[in-house]
């Protein structure tokens, strides 16, 4: 309990002091996880839509693969991405390993199945005739997609929350492909591991509380958007 | 004017023929019931006309032209709504068709009044009862004022009282649309077909077996399946001819065209009684007056056809 209290005090002190390294870590965390989640939405929402509405061979298999991916241990994803991006790996030439770029790729791989899974479920929950209705009312393809997304916004915002929540809190993949380099790839979760290892418990708790507050702030915003009354 | 002309239309699904319509016309300004049993291709025909399905072959033209966006308004069998109130649901189609806000409001107020849904305008559209939903569904379609209007089973899922009311109101609503509107109403219900439209197209197994002015189609069913769908009892005479006997066309006692009715049971209908049973393998009913002796169940009663139409097999 005492550690928690000192941690809270330490967190406030660091924030108020304007600790440059802390703000750097927070910014990097938001940037890497935010970018990974955004990319996962760009790929995952259309893919989820196709899986929900499409009738093609191997659809069930693909859905099962996605559902499995939703529960993939981040450290395994990290390992696979590490093998691909390592200097000796097939994509080693890109020289991405131990950069924020590598972390975005790994987190993207973690978030995408979550986004696809949530999107598929939310689109399938809509009336099956909805696309036909919109087409018959005169909506263009793009407009139809937009209107359907608006109808499914509860599920789509849940997809963002699940995706962002998963990647902002994972440590295994970020550690594996980012390397926890101070000032370049250290994020909140890997920072917690580092300071805990050094026995600086109060600082670790401070990082932990800041991470929780960050995740809560993002989720609160999304929840507020999700639960707004129909205009 | 925008009549619908269908030429050489074929629609296959998974290698199975769903529609085969060499020539089918719906004259401009007419209201036609597309009448057929479940699975006869009625809804598919509407979807093809609306451009929601691409036919395997053939063309659908409107007044000689290709279909343009905004030509067709369709009401699906199950009313589908977006979140938001009834008013915004009615407005969406108008907005998508580029109707100005002031005109939108005018049209919404008008159809709401006509369809009796004015009190529902501010209700959540996804919380309507089945009957209310069908009215709003109809109003949304009417509001579009499209040259071609397609209604798929407009009374499906509506309770008896609401159905009664709509059977009275709907023909008036359909008459109130601009004179050039070509309307198709899909139904598997005979009463609906005759009450809602003045023309009839009978669709069985994806093919048109009869079409034209409703009364004329009824009076001259071409074949057994069409006659049975229209409510006739089809009986085979001793010489192998097929006779379609309309309801009430059988009389008791021997006659020129006589049959034997095997009585299954006698039903008290309140104002009269029915002896229901079989002639050969065809289910048949004989109306009995109150003063007539009631035949025993299982007995065989001689009957004759007083009214009939000869049909093909």
Q: Where are the domains of chain B?
A: 4-219, 224-311
Residue A101 belongs to what H/E stretch?
Answer: helix A100-124
pLDDT, tens digit, 9 for 90 and up, residues B206-259 = 999 999 999 999 999 999 999 999 999 999 998 889 999 999 999 998 888 899
Digit-coded pLDDT (tens) for A143-185: 998 999 999 998 999 999 999 999 999 999 999 999 999 999 9
Distance from the B75 Cα atom to the nearest Cα atom in chain A, whole angstroms: 8
User: Would you state the pLDDT for residue B20?
Assistant: 97
Residue A1 has a pLDDT of 67
Does A127 contact B80 at a Cβ distance shorter than 8 Å?
A: yes
Measured CA to CA, the distance from residue B179 to residue B84 in angstroms comes to 33
Confidence band (pLDDT; 50, 70, 90) for A231?
very low
Strands B31-35 and B182-187: parallel
- For residues A1-5, average pLDDT: 79
Strands B199-204, B207-213: pairing is antiparallel
What proportion of chain B, given as a percentage, has pLDDT over 90?
A: 76
- Per-residue confidence (pLDDT) for residue B269, from 0 to 100: 84
Q: What is the DSSP letter of B272?
A: S
Which of A138, A139, A141, A156 to mutate to test binding with chain B, by most B CBs within 10 Å of its CB? Answer: A138
Per residue in A37-89, pLDDT (tens digit) is: 999 999 999 999 999 988 888 999 999 999 999 999 999 999 999 999 999 98
Taking CB atoms and an 8 Å limit, are A147 and B74 in contact across chains? no
Q: ipTM above 0.90? A: no
pLDDT given at position B69: 82
Can you give the C-alpha Rg of chain A in angstroms?
20
For the domain made up of B4-219, the CATH class stated in words is: alpha beta
Domains and CATH numbers, chain A: 2-227 (1.10.3720.10)
* Start-to-end C-alpha separation, chain A: 46
- Looking at CA atoms only, how far is residue A224 from chain B in angstroms? 18
Helix axis angle, A141-151 to A153-169, nearest 10°: 70
Helix, strand, or coil (residue B262): strand
Task: Tell me the pLDDT of chain B averaged across its residues.
Answer: 93
Each residue's pLDDT tens digit, B111-148: 999 999 999 999 999 899 988 999 999 999 999 999 99
Cα-Cα-Cα-Cα dihedral of A168, A173, A174, A178, to 10°? Answer: -160
pLDDT in tens, B1-26: 579 999 999 999 989 999 999 999 99
């Amino acid at each position: 309990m005492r550690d928690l209290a000192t941690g809270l005090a330490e967190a406030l002190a660091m924030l108020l002091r304007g600790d440059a390294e802390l703000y750097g870590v927070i910014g990097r965390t938001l940037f890497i996880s935010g970018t990974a989640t955004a990319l996962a939405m760009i790929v995952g929402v259309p893919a989820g839509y196709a899986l929900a509405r499409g009738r093609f061979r191997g659809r069930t298999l693909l859905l099962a693969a996605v559902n499995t991916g939703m529960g993939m241990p981040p450290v395994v994803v990290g390992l696979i991405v590490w093998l691909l991006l390592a200097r000796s790996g097939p994509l080693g030439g890109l020289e991405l390993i131990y950069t924020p770029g590598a972390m975005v790729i790994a987190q993207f791989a973690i978030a995408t199945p979550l986004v696809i899974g949530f999107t598929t479920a939310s689109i399938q929950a809509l009336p099956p005739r909805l696309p036909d209705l919109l087409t018959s009312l005169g909506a263009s393809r793009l407009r139809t997609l937009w209107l359907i997304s608006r109808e499914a916004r509860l599920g789509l915002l849940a997809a963002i929350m699940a995706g962002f929540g998963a990647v902002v809190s994972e440590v295994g993949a970020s550690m594996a492909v980012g390397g926890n380099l101070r000032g370049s790839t250290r994020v909140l979760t890997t920072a917690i591991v580092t300071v805990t290892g050094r026995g600086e418990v109060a600082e670790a708790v401070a990082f932990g509380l800041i991470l929780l507050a960050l995740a809560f702030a993002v989720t609160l915003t999304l929840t507020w958007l999700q639960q707004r009354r129909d205009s | 004017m925008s009549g619908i002309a269908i030429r050489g239309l074929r629609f296959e699904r998974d290698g199975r023929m769903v529609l085969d319509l060499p020539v089918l016309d719906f004259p401009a300004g007419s209201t036609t019931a597309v009448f057929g049993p479940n699975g006869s291709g009625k809804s598919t025909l509407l979807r093809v006309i609306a451009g929601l399905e691409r036919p395997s072959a053939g063309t659908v033209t409107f007044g000689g032209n290709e279909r343009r966006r905004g030509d067709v308004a369709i009401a699906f069998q199950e009313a589908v709504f977006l979140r938001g109130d009834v008013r915004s649901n009615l407005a969406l189609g108008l907005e998508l068709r580029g109707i100005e806000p002031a005109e939108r409001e005018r049209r919404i107020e008008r159809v709401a009044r006509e369809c009796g849904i004015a009190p529902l305008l501010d209700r959540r559209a996804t919380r309507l009862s089945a009957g209310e939903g069908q009215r709003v569904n109809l109003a949304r379609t009417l509001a579009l004022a499209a040259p071609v209007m397609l209604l798929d089973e407009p009374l499906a899922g509506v309770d008896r009282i609401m159905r009664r009311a709509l059977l009275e109101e709907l023909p008036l609503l359909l008459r109130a649309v601009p004179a050039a509107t070509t309307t198709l109403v899909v139904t598997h219900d005979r009463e609906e077909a005759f009450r809602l439209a003045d023309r009839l197209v009978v669709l069985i197994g994806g093919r048109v077996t009869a079409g034209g002015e409703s009364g004329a189609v009824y009076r001259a069913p071409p074949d057994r399946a069409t006659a049975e769908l229209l409510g006739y009892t089809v009986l085979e005479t001793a010489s192998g001819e097929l006779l379609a006997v309309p309801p009430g066309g059988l009389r008791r006692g021997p006659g020129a065209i006589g049959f034997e009715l095997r009585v299954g049971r006698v039903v008290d209908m309140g104002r009269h009684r029915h002896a229901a049973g079989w002639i050969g393998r065809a289910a048949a009913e004989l109306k009995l007056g109150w003063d007539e002796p009631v035949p025993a169940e299982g007995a065989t009663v001689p009957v004759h056809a007083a009214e009939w139409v000869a049909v093909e097999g």
